[in-house]
Amino acid sequence: METTKTSYPREKIKILLLENISATAAERFTSNGYENVERLTKALSESELIEKIKDVHILGIRSKTNVTPAVLAAAEKLQAIGCFCIGTNQVALDAATHHGVAVFNAPYSNTRSVAELVIGASVMLIRKIIDKNNAAHRGDWMKDASGSNELRGKTLGIIGYGNIGAQVSVLAEAMGMKVIFYDIQTKLPMGNAQDAKSLQQLLSNSDVITLHVPDTPQTKNLINKTNLPHVKQGAIIINYARGEVVDLDELRKYLESGQLRGAAVDVFPVEPEKNGDRFVSPLQGLPNVLLTPHIGGSTEEAQQNIGEDVSNKLLSYLEKGITWGSHTVPGLALPPQEGAHRVLHIHKNVPGVLSQINGQLSQNNINILGQYLKTNDQIGYVVVDVDRKLSKQAAQLLKEVPQTIKVRLLY
């Protein structure tokens, strides 16, 4: 990324990275002159984060740190949050929008890692490798073909046909599987995949069922005692999506009864805070069940990609005011303006703010060399390029505009 001189000295911008975020991200900042980078290996509690965040300009988190309204209220200098993961549900987005804090994530960076693991788990389960592996470790020799099958010719049912679901679809077809999918939104099928007309239809026709849905009130316990009776006899269920989408107690009953031949689960309703903490699940101790500690996207390639993706978005916002990909501040992708200084203005989205901005500047004979505006339901984001000699005066004038949330002189 091209290094740009910013109005606020780089060495004074404080960056806090939590949860052992990839060293790639930290290196991205330091190589661009941001020396004040603190990198912690753990998540912080709400009270710890409130204390820590007071002087932080950029916060990087993964999935276990919750950025609550109370945390955002205490973050007086916070400009942006980078979620170094797929989701953003750990951030109070409404509160972040209210405070004019841009929130970025990496929705595509670990897609391949999760998709490959789903296919790998499917092979392990349909061949009963887990049971045979455990027997071999006990000293028992279990060489038989009973209950072991190929994936080729079987039907994979994908619940949630987004980025990961579609990638799984492509890999499954390469393995010779038939693919059907169910999504609440209309999606363009990849390859020869077919759209199931209902969730029940998918469940009753799939040999392997894999979930790739977000964590919403609608998806909580999506696979439950109402839907499990529709599952095909001898099917396999894989959940590498979110911990709340499968009722694990009900799933255990169907595994114990033999209605299901196996399961792979990587995400859980309650997960340990750190490595070494005790883990408890209703699925422990069951044969042909693969339990993994939320590692669907945990490959070196994925973590490097995520580190690069999110840190690049944060740097683009810090140095150019670009908010493309933000979940809070309206998205703007804009070029640098030669011979000008850039001022960023975030305000409540009410009528007349833009005219007040232009009025303030024109009344003080400040020439506007470039201007960009984007709004969402709650806030508006204006980028103004002005004459260099008058940029500090312009920034001060924009702070006085009613409905202003945040003003920053960028460069």
| pLDDT for position 4 | 54
**Residue 348: predicted pLDDT:** 97
How many residues appear in the chain? 411
Q: Which residues, listed in sequence order, are joined to residue 355 by a DSSP beta bridge?
A: none
Q: What is the DSSP letter of 160?
A: S
| Known active-site residue 99 | no
Indicate which residue of 46, 250, 294, 308 is catalytic. 294
Cα 98–chain centre separation: 21
- Confidence class of residue 2 from pLDDT cuts 50, 70 and 90? very low
Q: Is 242 a catalytic residue?
A: yes
CA 319/CA 258 separation, integer angstroms: 58
382, 347 in Cβ contact below 8 A? Answer: yes
**Closest C-alpha among 285, 263, 235, 268 to residue 121:** 263
Q: 127, 242, 252, 345: which is the annotated catalytic residue?
A: 242
Dihedral over Cα of 80, 83, 86, 91: its sign: negative
d(CA 56, CA 47): 15
Count of CA atoms in the C-beta half-sphere (13 A) of 298:
13
- The DSSP bridge pattern shows strands 155-159 and 341-348 to be unpaired
The one catalytic residue among 46, 48, 244, 271: 271
pTM of the model: 0.84
Instruction: Yes or no: say if 168 and 143 are a contact pair by the CB < 8 Å rule.
Output: no
- For the stretch 303-327, pLDDT in tens is 999 999 999 999 999 999 999 999 9
- DSSP β-bridge partners for residue 246: 223
pLDDT in tens, 146-202: 999 999 999 999 999 999 999 999 999 999 999 999 999 999 999 999 999 999 999
Helices (H), 53-194: 69-74, 93-98, 111-126, 129-138, 163-174
